[in-house]
Amino acid sequence: MPGWTQILIVVVLVFLLFGRGKIADVMGDFAKGIKSFKKGMAEDEVPSNDDSKTIDHDTATQKVKQAESVSETTK
């Protein structure tokens, strides 16, 4: 397990290599990614009330009957 001095040395080296601006950009992008992931998970949990995606049973039955009658007349 690394001690506090080793962690401090690593933090200082990272800060010197990347600079304050680059670290802030990376952390900002990381935070946006987490927010986007949470939003996507919340959208998946909410049931969709969009009725346009559901097919009316009667309409589907009528279309099948029409297709069958067309195929019978072409025989």
pLDDT in tens, 24-41: 888 889 999 999 999 988
What average pLDDT is seen over the chain? Answer: 77
Q: Is 59 inside a domain boundary?
A: no
Query: What's the total number of domains in the chain?
Result: 1
Give residue 32's domain range: 1-45
With respect to residue 20, please indicate whether it lies within any of the assigned structural domains. yes
Indicate the pLDDT class of residue 1, thresholds 50, 70 and 90.
confident
Judged by DSSP in three states, 49 sits in: coil
Highest-confidence segment of 6-10, 53-57, 68-72: 6-10
Residue 13, in any domain of the structure: yes
Dist. CA 53–CA 7, nearest whole Å: 54
Task: Give a yes or no: residue 71 inside a domain.
Answer: no
pTM above 0.75, yes or no: no
Give, as one character, the DSSP assignment of residue 2.
-
Q: Is residue 60 part of a domain?
A: no
